[in-house]
């Protein structure tokens, strides 16, 4: 029997409770909204830019905000994954400093710089040095529950930013979007959960497509791009395997040409096209033509379309599928999806220098 049909073995092999955290994501999103409503707002009104500074699992919420906010916010959202901030950051910038552990050195450095530049700050963290500094500086802190992996906490690390922006009058209609999101995820988890066997479970089938192959995930600019990035990161961290991502229409102008050599290695690639019902009609045409051009070169191509009415539900409908698939892929490789010992080792080694 495949491990994917042995749900007890999967729960037993999941030392950090990644499956449980995924099951709880709908509640996490609802609680995250409440956390964002309860936090004090940073002083001042005239915000010209929003910056989300963080790394890895703490940064992806910034990309979700950037994509979700692009048609709704009248100011740009920039995601900063670095020690330093862009030059424009100043008193009219709202900076969300996000670190699940509160101890990521790049984020601590960017936080200090935001303070020096007089930016309006809000911190999202479980604690650590970041929380200590923010409390000492009188900066609003959204303290999120500890005990799960940062990448399992996207609800906590993203949705409070929506609540803050709503309360500052910069976003509207988000509450209904969060409610739909929770409901939609509740129905999707019934399809993706470990107890649903492989032949009825799209997340397990996606993991089987990826097994012993290199996933290549393609999204579209402005809609599913952040989901493609998320799938790639989740395959890396959960399954401890490589994966790559790109976006339409840009990939039609370079990456597409690269599916000719070496043919035997190309046969180990598996491509997923992540679609959204609101993709630009010309991009939709590009999906079909692109598929026709490169389908025979690779092991397989599949398309998945986001479901849900509001943009939040649609983004998370695809994220949820990728999160489950990456965890099932971990079990196919016989690894525990939770621990990321390589990142831990790297951080420990840098901390000593
Ligand atoms: O998923 C992970 O563990 C990483 O991507 C972390 O999120 C990243 O290293 C940053 O750490 P933190 O989220 O604690 O700031």
- Our mutation pick for probing the ligand 1 site, out of 143, 158, 343, counting the most ligand atoms within 8 A of Cβ, is 343
Ligand 1 center to 88 CA (angstroms): 26
Q: What are the Cα distances from residue 217, in Å, to 40, 228, 237?
A: 39, 5, 15
Prior bond to 262 cis, omega within 30? yes
Ligand 1 atom closest to the CA of 56, numbered from 1: 5
Ligand 1 atom closest to the CA of 54, numbered from 1: 15
Beta strands 269-275 and 214-220: pairing type? parallel
pLDDT digits over 224-274, tens only? 999 999 999 999 999 999 999 999 999 999 999 999 999 999 999 999 999
pLDDT digits over 178-226, tens only? 999 999 999 999 999 999 999 999 999 999 999 999 999 999 999 999 9
pTM of the prediction? 0.97
Q: How many CB atoms lie within 10 A of CB 46?
A: 7
Read off the pLDDT band of 353 (50, 70, 90).
confident
Q: Please, what sign has the CA dihedral across residues 65, 241, 104, 38? A: positive
- What is the reported pLDDT for 351? 86
- What is the reported pLDDT for 275? 98
Known catalytic membership, residue 253: yes
pLDDT digits over 301-328, tens only? 999 999 999 999 999 999 999 999 999 9
Structure letter (DSSP) for residue 43: S
Q: Whose CA is nearest to atom 7 of ligand 1?
A: 57
Ligand 1 center to 254 CA (angstroms): 31
Percent of the chain with pLDDT over 70: 100
Known catalytic membership, residue 175: no
Known catalytic membership, residue 204: no
Q: What angle do CA 83, 16, 22 make, to 5 degrees?
A: 85
Ligand 1 atom closest to the CA of 99, numbered from 1: 15
Q: Which of 298, 296, 314, 297 is nearest to 306 (CA)?
A: 314
**Average pLDDT of the chain, as a whole number:** 97
Which residues line ligand 1 at a C-beta cut-off of 6 Å? 54-58, 99-101, 104, 107, 149-151, 237, 340, 343
Instruction: Name the catalytic one among 106, 113, 225, 237.
Output: 237
């Amino acid at each position: 029997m495949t491990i994917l049909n042995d749900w007890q073995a999967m729960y037993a092999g999941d030392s950090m409770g990644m499956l449980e955290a995924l099951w709880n994501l709908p509640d996490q999103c609802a609680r995250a909204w409440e956390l964002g409503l309860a936090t004090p707002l940073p002083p001042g009104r005239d915000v010209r830019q929003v910056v989300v500074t963080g790394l890895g699992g703490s940064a992806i919420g910034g990309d979700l905000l950037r994509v979700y906010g692009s048609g709704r916010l009248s100011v740009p959202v920039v995601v900063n994954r670095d020690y330093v901030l862009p030059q424009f950051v100043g008193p009219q910038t709202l900076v969300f400093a996000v670190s699940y552990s509160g101890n990521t050195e790049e984020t601590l450095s960017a936080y200090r710089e935001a303070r020096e530049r007089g930016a309006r700050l809000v911190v999202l963290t479980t604690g650590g040095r970041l929380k200590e500094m923010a409390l000492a500086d009188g900066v609003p802190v959204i303290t999120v529950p500890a005990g799960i992996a940062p990448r399992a906490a996207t609800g906590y690390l993203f949705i409070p930013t929506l609540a803050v922006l709503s309360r500052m009058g910069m976003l509207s209609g988000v509450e209904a979007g969060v409610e739909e999101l929770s409901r939609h995820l509740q129905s999707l988890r019934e399809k993706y959960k470990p107890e649903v066997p492989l032949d009825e479970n799209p997340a397990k089938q996606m993991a089987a497509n990826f097994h012993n192959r290199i996933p290549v995930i393609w999204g579209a600019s402005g809609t599913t791009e952040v989901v493609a990035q998320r799938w790639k990161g989740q395959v890396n961290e959960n399954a401890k395997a490589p994966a790559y991502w790109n976006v339409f229409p840009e990939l039609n102008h370079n990456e597409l040409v690269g599916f000719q050599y070496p043919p035997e290695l190309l046969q180990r690639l598996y491509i997923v096209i992540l679609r959204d019902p609101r993709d630009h009609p010309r991009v939709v045409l590009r999906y079909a033509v692109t598929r026709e051009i490169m389908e025979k070169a690779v092991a397989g191509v599949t398309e998945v379309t986001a479901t849900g009415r509001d943009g939040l539900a649609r983004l998370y409908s695809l994220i949820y599928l990728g999160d489950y698939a990456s965890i099932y892929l971990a079990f196919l490789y016989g690894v525990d999806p939770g621990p990321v010992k390589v990142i831990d080792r790297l951080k420990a080694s840098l901390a000593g220098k």
